[in-house]
Structure 1
Amino acid sequence: MDETTTAPNFPTLEDWQHWTLVMGRAQQMMMETWAESWKAGEPFPGLKSPSQPPEAFDLMRAGAEAWSKGLQAWGQMLGATEKAAEAKDRRFAAPEWRDNPLFDTICQSYLAVSDQLMRGVEEVEGIDEGARQKLRFATKSFIDAMSPSNFALTNPQVLKKTIDSRGENLLNGLRHMLDDIRAGQLTQTRKGEYEVGRNLATTPGKVVKETPLYQLIQYTPTTDKVLTTPVVIFPPWINRFYILDLTPEKSFVRWCVEQGISLFMVSWKSADESMKDVVLDDYVLRGQVDAVDTIRDLLGVESVHTIGYCVAGTTLAATLAYLQAKGEAAKVRSATFFTAQIDFTQAGDLKLFLGDEVMGLHSQLTAEKGFLDGRYMAATFNALRGRDLVWNYVVNNYLLGEEPAPFDLLHWNSDTTNLPAKWHRDYLETLYKQNKLVECGGVSIDRTPVDLKTVRTPSYIQAGREDHIAPPESVWKVMDHFAGPKRFVLAGSGHIAGVVNPPSAQKYQYWTCDQDQPSLDEFIAHATEHKGSWWPDWVEWIRSLGADEVPATGARQPGEGKLPALEEAPGRYVRTR
């Protein structure tokens, strides 16, 4: 025997005692969690209804089953000999994936098989594009779930952390997972780091009106004079409004005020049992039209500029058509659409979640209380980017046992809001699936048929080049339906970062074209690229419609006009779960 041969290091009694303690602590945490769940009468930890787990946890359960079968699958994949192309993939950024031959082989095999699977989707014959899109999404989701980075035994970082910490990472990860189960959603940012009103949504202002559907916030001017025509923002009712008022350096709201704009924000109420019968008419008439009329009366102006973000842009289009039909179009001086869709023929990946099974689950989830728990919608959006918004945190939080980094955008993403069940289902069925809004008279508001082709309100249409929720080719269709003057701007990045891009950040770019173009492809072919944020382009467009100013006094100051201040911004609705 070679004298230099090192004898294997067998576990000592202390090692056995340590790992027994680790296993015991893990078992205790799991038992305590389930005991609390059953004591509270919850069929599933963190969720009192329904009895069926939400899609997010179906995904986690599927991932857990995949982990148990993972080694066998990878044993077969190791036979792949083709060297996969090097890719800039954060999952395999650690040097161990390249320096260790075993893990390099695992990584390259995975990339090769993944590439082959995705190519196979495009080569399938005899299916329409809709079916191919579903197959493409399902295949990508499977590939992302089966990444070797997601399995403890095939992730060199997890193995090293487990050895170095003697299993503490797994205990911490289990604690994080059980906390997430109690909360009913995946943690994406460090807890306690952000708070609405403390370091988010801090632009000074006051709530000057409250209805059962929304609060109206008027922001405090910071300039001596302001534009005569005010601006009101309608954020999506599926999210909290402060995506446009994050930290001060990112806040679109604060920036607008600094540009001399009299700014108002609608803060939608998170749905409860009282909103079970809310429908489109409510969001148009008792929401958007009511807010416009309130501001006109408060400031004594004929019209207001409006902004509709995402789904609120969809309803804003319906509002414009309704006002046109009623002969009241002059109430709205202009309409700006942030990544909004009105024609859903090319609506993107969300259409994958409109099958009969999903709609049936929607009915089951909302039958008892009449509203949809916002965590289900958050899980749907997370699933659209599962690699970044699900599996990344499974590895970091559960396997490595680390706390996620603080990130204001992800805090907002996790701050869910409930949705009125009847209206949400009608939105998906009537608009997304049946595409009724673009039909003349396909949708009626207060028994008044509307037609988008009649809309002549000047419109500014912004799309995100990499938007997977409202693809630019879908947003472009606003150009095809409205009859009035329109300006289209294509911004770099996606659904959120493409909108929330302050000039001071000097990030991304945007494209404009001064000549009308018949299609998005022609627009891109003739567009001029500009570095940085599109916000200055927008405010220049707003001023081109009327640059008259008035002193920032009297009713231009929150609470000093006809409407007394009810409370300080951001108000209580945005804090209500």
Structure 2
Amino acid sequence: MARDAATQTEPTALLTDLLRGQAAATAGLFGQLVPETGTAGGEAATQWAEVAGRMQAMWFDFHAEQIASAPAHYTDPMKWIATGEAVLRQLPLANPENQHKLWEDTLALCTTVLGAYGIGPKAEEAPREAPELPRKDRRFAAPEWRRQPFFALLHQVYLMLSEHVVDMAEALEGLEPARKRQLVFATRMLLDSLSPSNFPLTNPVALEKAAETKGESLVRGMEHLLADMRRGQLTHTSAEAFRLGENIAVTPGKVVHETPLFQLIQYTPTTDKVLRTPLVIFPPWINRFYILDLNAKKSFVRWAVEQGVSVFMVSWKSADASMADMLWDDYVAAQIEAIDVVRARLGVPAVHAIGYCVAGTTLAATLAVLARRGEAAKVASATFFTAQVDFEEAGDLKNFVDDQQIEAIARLAPEGFVDGRYLAATFNMLRGNDLIWSYVEKNYLKGEDYPAFDLLYWNGDVTNLPLRWHQDYLRDLYRDNRLVVPDSLNVGDTPIDLRRIETPCYIQAGREDHIAPPESVWKLTRYLKGPSTFVLAGSGHIAGVVNPPSSGKYQYWTNDGPAETLGEFVAGAVEHPGSWWPHWRAWLESRDPALVPARGKRRPGGRGDKAIEDAPGRYVMER
């Protein structure tokens, strides 16, 4: 489409003014970095030459280590480039109408932004040093992004282009809905990776940090980058700050039962009497169990013990080659075994059970199996933390479950188990700006020291999964949604029908959960035959669960009236400040309020009770 001469030359003039100003700013910056004259300048030049030499030596050493091996698929730059090209080829970037709109919007944005700095034909009479800009994004919240017109325009154009490209992806026609969701998700991921905040020469915060530290921030950043490339995983927190059993996962207890798949921990009571019906917790085997026992203030386990509950915890073994043939059946059987062990150990007819995330999905299958076998009375109540059974609205994880990606997993697991680092990378990508790119900026570009943060330590403490189980889980549940189809899946010879479950259930969902969206978790209430209580907690998949009353954070919603959908539940819900834990404790006691003395085998490792080892046990420490 033709444009008149004035329109063609105006952006050139604007960019000339911009680059002239940027050149002066850059000269000033690097004049600080590498002065050319004087004694101080010579010392600075020597310092920067030393910094450059150290970084070059580190890179050469790393490169020499890697010569004999190919890069991991998710750290191979060519893999990312190929993926980006594949995404962009599907978008109508060459469409004349799209190009014309993009040109006009870019020109208007340049005029607005530069005008605020006194540049161009629409310059303000009194240009501001750090003016307000049209688009806001927390990646560019630092004042350095607005001090110089170059960086201001850079990030504003990036945000505008991102909006345009995402709009193109969302408007694309002729694709299957699932394929379109994948394209939009991949487009957002690609655009996030291309943010100017992710590169040292386009990040003014990183540049100023380099000037301030005389390059030492760049050296530390290179050290962090190469260390992560060696371990094949992004580091979020200091690995030396935590020791299992010393300052994390420290609630006292004993391992009282062990199989090749799990250890069973029983925690030591702190009250003279405890509820007669004990509690057994099934954490997800995708992560370590101690998310529920981070420290004394955050520990759900410690809090429940202090509330007079006999608590047992399953600690799953991280998969190795010996577990290559394990299936979902084995995890259901393990839950039933743990239930039976606790019942026999304490001489009680039933237990309360908690299932978190994938272990909650499995607990639903376990309850259905027990119901079909006439053994439903073994479980007095079941609590589900952010667990899904109907995967129709399972969120962004569904973008990783097409045939091609499921088959690709097998190529990454030649020994029959999936490396937990791949799983960690997948979950991090669901919140890329929060869990990947913000740490790229902090760790690599600014060279910041790692904080001591227990939640991030747990997040990086990965576990491996049996390949066959993982593929079946993605295929049968996420892709084909078979768990909610009566008798479509079996555990051994026992068909699964969730509609047979009469066990009273407490179902917790996180309002901002991106892994198990609340709309998806809610659907469990539609399949149960017995009574259920649904609670919507503030925050997401982790903080919505790990929210002790002492923190005074967030809130939760309840609704005792009828509701067919989550929207109806929310419309009639009552908001309560703080943690939902006391509400759950009251619900648990209403199932069986009877108390018994906390003695005998209620105190693990006591007289006549031979325990295997102290909590947290060996399995959680295996890497």
Q: 1:14-413 residue pairs with structure 2 within 5 A?
A: 14-37=43-66, 42-44=69-71, 53-55=72-74, 62=81, 79=107, 80-81=109-110, 85-87=134-136, 89-285=137-333, 287-367=334-414, 369-413=415-459
Contact in 1 for aligned 2:511/2:539 (Cα 8 Å)? yes
> How many pairs does the alignment contain?
552
SS class of match (1:500):
coil
Q: Spell out the pairing of 1:432-443 with structure 2 (5 A cutoff).
A: 432-443=478-489
Please state if 1:10 is matched with 2:36: yes
Secondary structure of the residue aligned to 2:412 is helix
> CA deviation digits over 1:129-158, x for unaligned, max 9?
323322221222122112221121221111
Mean CA deviation greater in 108-117 or 136-145:
108-117
In 1, the alpha carbon distance for the partners of 2:527 and 2:239 equals 45
Which deviates more from structure 2 when the two are superposed, residues 155-164 or residues 500-509? 155-164
Q: What amino acid is the match of 1:418? A: N
Q: Secondary structure of the equivalent of 2:212?
A: helix
CA drift of 1:14 comes to 4.6
In structure 1, the partner of 2:8 is none
* Further displaced range: 452-461 or 401-410: 401-410
CA distance in 2, matches of 1:481, 1:453: 5
Residue 559 of structure 1 aligns to which amino acid in structure 2? Answer: G
SS of equivalent residue, structure 1 residue 163 = helix
Quote how far apart the aligned CAs of 1:441 are: 1.0
CA distances 1:310-356 after superposition (whole Å, capped 9, x unpaired): 00011111100000010000000011000001111111111111123
State how far apart, in whole Å, the 2-side matches of 1:16 and 1:222 are: 64
Pair 1:77–1:557, CA change in 2 (3 A): farther
Matched AA of 1:427: Y
1:539-550 equivalence runs, <5 A:
539-550=585-596
The whole-number CA distance in structure 2 between the counterparts of 1:61 and 1:20 is 32
Which secondary structure does the structure 2 equivalent of 1:218 belong to? Answer: strand
In structure 1, C-alpha distance between the alignment counterparts of 2:105 and 2:315, rounded to whole Å = 51
The 8 Å contact of residues 321 and 450 in structure 1, kept in 2 or not, is answered as: yes
Do the aligned partners of 1:213 and 1:269 also contact (CA within 8 Å) in 2? yes
Per mean C-alpha deviation after superposition, the further-off stretch among 288-297 and 181-190 is 181-190
Q: Is the 8 A contact 1:513 1:526 kept in 2?
A: yes
Unaligned runs of at least 5 residues, structure 2: 1-26, 86-102, 114-132
Q: Which amino acid aligns with 1:24?
A: G
Identity %: 55
SS at match of 1:209: strand
What SS does the aligned partner of 1:232 have?
strand
Moved beyond 6 Å, runs of 4+: 63-66, 75-78
Counterpart amino acid of residue 30 in structure 1: W
Q: Whole-Å Cα distance in 2 between the matches of residues 42 and 562 of structure 1?
A: 54
Deviates more, 1:441-450 or 1:408-417: 441-450
Amino acid at match of 2:168: G
Q: Which moved more, 1:545-554 or 1:348-357?
A: 348-357
Contact 1:305 1:332 in 2 (8 A): yes
Deviation of the 1:244 alpha carbon? 0.4
Aligned partner of residue 249 in structure 1, secondary structure: coil
Residue range with higher mean Cα deviation, 103-112 or 168-177: 103-112
Describe the SS at the equivalent of 1:284: helix
Q: Is the 8 A contact 1:56 1:380 kept in 2?
A: no
Equivalent position SS for 1:301: coil
**How far is the alpha carbon of 1:428 from its aligned partner?**
0.9
Aligned CA distance change for structure 1 residues 65 and 143 (closer, same or farther; 3 Å): closer
What is aligned with 2:460? 414
Relative distance call for 1:501 and 1:512 in structure 2 (3 A) is same
Partner of 1:461, secondary structure, is strand
Greater RCO between the two (CA within 8 Å, min separation 6)? 1
1:115 Cα shift? 2.8
Q: What amino acid is the match of 2:425?
A: A
User: For residues 239-292 of structure 1, what are the alpha-carbon distances to aligned partners after superposition, in whole Å with 9 as ceiling and x for unaligned?
Assistant: 00000000110110001001000000000001111111111111111x100000
- Listed one character per residue, the Cα deviations across residues 165-218 of structure 1 (whole Å, up to 9, x for unaligned) are 222221211111111111110110123111211111000111111110000000
Which amino acid in structure 1 is aligned with residue 179 of structure 2?
A
Q: TM-score, normalised by structure 1?
A: 0.91
Distance change >3 Å, CA 417–CA 164, structure 1 → 2: same
In structure 2, the CA distance between the partners of 1:162 and 1:308, relative to structure 1 (3 Å rule), is: same
Distance 1:562 1:512, change over 3 A: farther
CA deviations over 1:40-75 (Å, ceiling 9, x no partner): x6444xxxxxxxx24355599659999xxxxxxxx9
Would the alpha carbon gap of residues 530 and 85 (structure 1) be closer, same or farther in structure 2, given more than 3 Å must change? farther
Render the CA deviation track for 1:520-577: whole Å, top value 9, x for unaligned. Answer: 1111111111111111111111011111000000010012387521111000100001
Structure 2 Cα separation of the partners of residues 336 and 56 of structure 1: 39
**AA aligned opposite 2:537:** A
Q: 2:507 — aligned with what?
A: 461
Query: Alpha-carbon deviations, 1:493-526, whole Å to 9, x = none?
Result: 1111111111111111111101121111111111
Name the larger-Rg structure.
2
Q: CA RMSD in A?
A: 2.5
SS in 1 for 2:280: strand
Contact 2:252 2:267 in 1 (8 A): yes
Code of the residue aligned with 1:266 in structure 2: it is V
Question: Which residue identity does 1:313 align to in structure 2?
Answer: G
Q: CA deviation at 1:390?
A: 0.7
> TM-score, normalised to structure 2's length?
0.84
User: Secondary structure at the residue paired with 1:215?
Assistant: strand
2 CA distance for matches of 1:129 and 1:523? Answer: 28
Distance 2:294 2:537 in 1: 20
Q: Where does structure 1 lack aligned partners over 5 or more consecutive residues?
A: 1-5, 45-52, 67-74
Q: 2:549 — aligned with what? A: 503
Contact 2:75 2:229 in 1 (8 A): no
* Preserved CA contact (<8 Å) 1:342 1:438: yes
Q: How far apart are residue 103 of structure 1 and its match?
A: 2.0
C-alpha displacement of 1:302: 0.3
